Every structure is written in C-alpha cells, then in structure tokens.
Amino acid sequence: MTQNAAAPRACPGCAGAMARQAFARKLTGTLDLDLCFDCQAIWFDAYESPQLTPGAVIELFRTIEAQRARAARPLPEALRCVTCRGRLVLTHDVERTNRITYYRCPQGDGRFTTFLQFLREKEFVRSVTPVEIARLRATVAQVRCSSCGAPVDIAKDAECRYCHAPVSVLDVDAVRRTLDQLEAEERRRCTPDPAAAIDGLLEGRRAARRIDAASQGIALREPVDLVHEALSLLTSAL
C-alpha cells in the first residue's frame, strides 16, 4: 500500500479531502482507493472492490482496524458523487450471506461504502443473531450503529432506522477464518505455476510465428519442437 500524490477528491460525506492509497490489483498493477477517516468510508470507482487482491483486502482491513478508536462522523442525508456530483442512491445488496448497503452513483461512476459495510462485504463482520439480540436487550437499552453512527433502540429494532444496517458484531473467529482464507489465496496468487508459465510462453511464440507467417503470405505447417520453443523463450526471458 502506498500513498498517491494525485490531487485529493472531496469526500461525499463531509466534503473534506480524502486520502488516496494504492492497493494491489488482481492480475497486475495497482488501483487507487479514496478513504475518508473522519466519515470512515471508502470511495470505489466502478468495479474496483472485486479487483482487490486477497493481500490488498488484508491491507485495507488493517488500515480500517487502525482507525477503530475514532468515532465516525454521521453521514448527511444527501451524498454527492465525487465524479459527476450527482446524488448518490442508498442501495441494499447481498454479498455471500451478509446484507450490505452502500451509496452508488446512478451514472455508474462508483460507490461510497462505509468501513463497516466493507467489512461485512468481505465477511469480517456479521449480523447479530436473535439470541445475541435478546441478550443485548437484557443488558443495554441502546447501541450505536457501526455504519452511520446513529443510535439504535435495541428494545425495538435490530437494525438502524437511518441507514438500515443490521446491528453487527466483529466475530473474532470469523476474522481469523477470513484472514486465513485471504492469506492462502494470496500465497497461491503469488506462487508461479511452471506448467501455466510454459503454456503461456509457447502460445505467445506460436501466435507470433502465425502473425509473421501471415504477413509474408506463408502457410505455417511445420511441427513445433516443444522443448526447443520453451527453452528459447525461457532463455530470452532471463
């Protein structure tokens, strides 16, 4: 994760400058995410969240976890897209077994997601069970919504009346399982597959030869020496 020196974007919630940080992208390269630590939310450009590598999700989890002592600033009723300035629409969705909410741009420019909702999306956080709700009702009258900061009357509600986020809990066992799974996926992603590498190299060489032959009007029919082709390509790559 690195800081990006590009001009900061204005947060849809508080209009303050968001921190731009680079995270690893699946396949190759990086993508820049905009984070507001006051509102505790992230702006994702279109399709950015699914492009995060497992290692990047872990990095982002640790970034969020480092802000746990800060109280989130309540979000205003009207949130504006960082790109087109259109009003964002509160959207309800389901990711695996978790209900999540976020504020999306109707024009498709991206979405504004609170830290809590990102943690729910990646299964670090889960909804409180009915048994846990009953236990809470016996001990506390009110809890604070971890998504928008609004008070939740636990005697009457199991979700926030303002942003409709379910009362949630960070499950230590779930966090460990999710981190273990992400770390395993990241190790697999970073471990080269020799067979796949050879297949890719050979296909690249065959494609190059076909293009060269076609440009010269030659029909390429001779057999390919797989060992020679692979060694040639591997040598040129070293």
- Average pLDDT score, the chain: 80
Question: Is residue 224 predicted with pLDDT exceeding 60?
Answer: no
Q: What share of the chain is helix, strand, coil (3-state, %, to 5)?
A: 35, 25, 40
Q: Name residue, tokens 């919630």.
A: 13
Q: What is the pLDDT of residues 120-169, one digit of tens each?
A: 888 888 777 778 778 777 777 777 776 666 777 767 777 777 777 777 76
Q: Percent of the chain at pLDDT above 70?
A: 74
User: Euclidean distance between the first and final Cα of the chain, in Å?
Assistant: 28
Question: Is residue 203 predicted with pLDDT exceeding 50?
Answer: yes
pLDDT grade for 238, boundaries at 50, 70 and 90: very low
User: What pLDDT is attached to residue 63?
Assistant: 93
- Residue 79 structure tokens: 């949130």
- Residue 93 structure tokens: 């969705």
Give the mean pLDDT of 81-85.
95
User: What pLDDT is attached to residue 200?
Assistant: 59
The C-alpha atoms of residue 80 and residue 69 are separated, in whole angstroms, by 27
- Greater pLDDT, 26 or 97: 26
- Residue 197 structure tokens: 């590498």
Whole-structure pTM value: 0.66
User: What pLDDT is attached to residue 60?
Assistant: 94
User: What pLDDT is attached to residue 94?
Assistant: 87
